[in-house]
């Protein structure tokens, strides 16, 4: 058995053994890398979900205020428009932040699903590619060599797809802790401080319209008390409106940064980076092999 035949036999046996190992390793997680990815996806989705829940609470409170203000209009107090103008900026910012959070949660969910699918499907796919390559390595014609290159490219892409999201999650976790986490927590604390008084507006009892004569017949003290309650609520809203809108805007920018950088840009950047590294290794290996063959032919 000559040297080339022994090399081909070794490659074929190694490829078959690796394909068997990969075939039976479907669903097996890499201890450190995959556990970090699991924690990142769960924590990120949970935190974004909590912020989305806060937005829905604020939105519900604002809706109550807007609906309650309609009750004032028939009584002739004329504060309905003022209330709408006060809470509209808050309502608009809550809606925008909610949209960003929904996109963020959806993107994270899709990535988590793709990551879980890759754990299950990539190993058997790699096993099939390696098994085919282990057979094709015995054939040396041009068509088979072209097919081998295609299979090797698919092998590289599948391997990178398996490791891309776990590596990306580690990088995302670093970015989250370094640049985003503290700012998001600070904005949430300030928002909670501002909306603590806003929630009290739900308890304000507004005078109801009971016909013109019925309204006039209500006691003067009752109307005075309700008017004072409402004015106090409006004052609280005016005092906190700037703080609420500012922190809603900060959270919108922060979560938009998370969406763009950590969910859209970084995974593709890491995929491209890993592909370039693996591709350069294959090119180097192929060049060394070709040089070795050329050197052997010259000696002969």
User: Which among 120, 119, 158, 150 has a CA at the least distance from the CA of 133?
Assistant: 150
What integer pLDDT is reported at residue 76 of this predicted model? Answer: 45
> Quick one: pLDDT at residue 124?
92
pLDDT at 233: 59
Q: What pLDDT digit, counting tens, does each position of 72-130 carry?
A: 444 444 445 556 666 778 888 888 999 999 988 998 898 899 899 999 999 999 999 99
For residue 59, give every residue at least 6 positions away whose Cβ sits within 8 Å of its Cβ, in sequence order, or none. Answer: 91, 94, 95, 98
The reported pLDDT for the residue numbered 82 is 56
Contact yes or no for 68/206 (Cβ under 8 A) = yes
Residues 211-258: pLDDT tens digits?
Answer: 545 544 544 555 565 556 556 656 666 677 788 888 888 989 988 888
138-155 average pLDDT score:
86
* Half-sphere exposure (Cβ direction) of 95: Cα atoms closer than 13 Å: 8
pLDDT value, residue 72: 47
- Assigned token pair, 188: 């949430």
pLDDT given at position 70? 47
The percentage of residues in the chain with a pLDDT greater than 90, rounded to a whole number, is 9
- Collapse the DSSP code of 40 into the 3-class scheme (helix H, G, I; strand E, B; otherwise coil) and give the result: helix
Give the mean pLDDT of the chain.
77
Rounded to an integer, the average pLDDT of 257-264 is: 82
Across residues 128-145, what is the average pLDDT?
89
Query: Is 234 inside any structural domain?
Result: yes
- Whether 294 has a pLDDT exceeding 60, the answer reads no
Find out whether 274 and 160 touch, Cβ atoms under 8 Å: yes
**Model pLDDT, residue 131:** 92
Residue 151 lies in a domain: no
State the average pLDDT over residues 162-191: 87
Q: Find, among 167, 129, 174, the residue nearest to 149 by Cα.
A: 129
Domain contains 133: no
- For residue 187, pLDDT beyond 60: yes
> Cα–Cα distance between 78 and 169 in angstroms, integer?
54
Residue 1 lies in a domain: no
CB atoms within 10 A of CB 271: 18
**pLDDT of amino acid 212:** 47
Distance between CA 19 and CA 252 in Å, rounded? 47
The residues, ordered by sequence, that sit 6+ positions from 172 with a Cβ below 8 Å of its Cβ are: 40, 44, 262, 266
pLDDT, residue 275, reads: 79
CB 172 within 8 A of CB 40: yes
What whole-number distance in Å separates Cα of residue 118 and Cα of residue 163?
9
| Whole-structure pTM value | 0.72
Number of domains in the chain: 1
What is the C-alpha to C-alpha distance for residues 42 and 50, in angstroms, rounded to an integer? 12
pLDDT at 132: 92
Q: How do residues 50-70 score in pLDDT, each as one tens digit?
A: 888 888 877 877 776 666 554
Domain that holds residue 101: 31-120+164-299
Q: By the 8 A CB rule, do 117 and 109 touch?
A: no
Q: Classify residue 240: in a domain, yes or no.
A: yes
Q: Does 134 fall in a domain?
A: no
Average pLDDT over residues 15-20: 90
> 7 lies in a domain?
no
Assigned domain for 2 exists = no
pLDDT of residue 17: 92
- Does 193 or 22 have the greater pLDDT score? 22
């Amino acid at each position: 058995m000559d040297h080339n035949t022994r090399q081909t036999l070794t490659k074929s046996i190694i490829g078959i053994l690796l394909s068997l190992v990969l075939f039976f390793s479907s669903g097996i997680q890499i201890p450190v890398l995959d556990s970090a990815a699991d924690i990142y996806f769960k924590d990120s989705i949970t935190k974004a979900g909590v912020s989305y829940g806060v937005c829905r609470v604020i939105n519900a409170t604002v809706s109550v205020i807007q609906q309650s203000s309609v009750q004032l209009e028939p009584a002739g107090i004329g504060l309905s428009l003022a209330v709408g103008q006060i809470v509209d900026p808050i309502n608009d910012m809550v809606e925008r932040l909610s949209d960003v959070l929904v996109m963020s949660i959806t993107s994270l969910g899709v990535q988590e699903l793709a990551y879980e699918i890759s754990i299950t499907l990539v190993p058997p796919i790699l096993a099939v590619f390696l098994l085919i390559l282990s057979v094709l390595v015995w054939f040396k014609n041009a068509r088979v060599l072209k097919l081998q290159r295609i299979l090797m490219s698919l092998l590289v892409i599948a391997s990178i797809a398996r490791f891309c999201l776990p590596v990306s999650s580690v990088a995302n976790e670093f970015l989250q802790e370094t640049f985003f986490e503290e700012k998001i927590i600070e904005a949430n604390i300030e928002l909670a401080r501002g909306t603590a008084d806003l929630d009290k507006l739900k308890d304000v009892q507004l005078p109801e319209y009971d016909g013109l004569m019925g309204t006039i017949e209500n006691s003067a003290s009752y109307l005075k008390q309700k008017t004072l309650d409402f004015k106090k609520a409006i004052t609280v809203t005016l005092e906190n409106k700037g703080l609420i809108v500012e922190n809603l805007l900060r959270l919108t920018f922060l979560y938009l940064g998370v969406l763009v950088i950590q969910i859209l840009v970084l995974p593709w950047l890491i995929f491209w980076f890993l592909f370039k590294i693996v591709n350069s290794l294959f090119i180097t290996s192929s060049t060394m092999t070709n040089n070795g063959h050329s050197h052997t032919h010259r000696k002969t």
